[in-house]
Amino acid sequence: MMRPSMRKNNQIRHVSMETGVNKWAEGSCLIKMGGTHVLCTASVDLNQPVWKRMQNKTGGWVTAEYSMLPRANGTRKGRETMLRDHRCAEISRLVGRAFRSVVDMEKLGRHTITIDCDVIQADGGTRCAAITGGYVALVLAVRGLIDTGRIRENPILDHVAAVSAGIWNNELILDLDFDEDCAAETDANFVVAGDGRFIEIQATGEQHPFTQDQILQMMQLGADGCKKLIDLQRQILA
């Protein structure tokens, strides 16, 4: 069956990344994956987080906060509801883990970098777009630390990107949009490093269990999709 977007099963949506979109942030990137648009900003604090200072820990820290603007979806979500949104808190932790997996905290020095990922418009795959675009903002912020002499070595060890895959109408598909996500039998998210290794896998049988063979096929789709996204990151950051 043809996908609603008319894409091939292994085809990601059109992706663009625009840098320098925030005047004040040390790094910024507006990523658009089809109808999903996420503004990612990286803010540098020249101190460690309080918990590291209290425990006399060395090195820096990278963290993330994810949120959706009130009218990112078809129905407005009140700001007071957003403050109690457990989904956003869970995604924030996922995004932070993804970045920390490719950063050497000792080389980062006693700095804290916070990546804010604000969904302007949601059409499926917002957490994946946040990771992919947030990485670009992180790299730009780190380059600023190097250029100003705050750190001597690049602490970023590798690229990181994320993409969804799933089973829709009994077919394996890559990069689900909202219409596909709502009807998917299985929905998965793959966070992948530049060397092809997996950082995190989230998979749920929405309508029924999935097989080992199916998850392996989804992993391959996810790895291939992330490779394309990382190639685009390299172009943007060149």
Paired sense of beta strands 112-121 and 61-68, if any: parallel
Which pLDDT score, from 0 to 100, does residue 4 have? 86
Domains identified in the chain and CATH numbers: 15-237 (3.30.230.70)
Q: Dump pLDDT digits (tens) for 69-109.
A: 887 888 888 777 666 678 899 999 999 999 999 999 999 99
Per-residue H/E/C for 74-110: CCCCCHHHHCCCHHHHHHHHHHHHHHHCCECCCCCCC
CB atoms within 10 A of CB 101: 16
Q: Is the pLDDT of residue 235 over 90?
A: yes
Which pLDDT score, from 0 to 100, does residue 206 have? 85
Mean pLDDT of the chain: 94
Name the DSSP letter for residue 208: S
| pLDDT more than 90, % of the chain | 82
**Structure pTM?**
0.94
Which tokens belong to 156? 């970023």
Mean pLDDT of the 53-59 span? 91
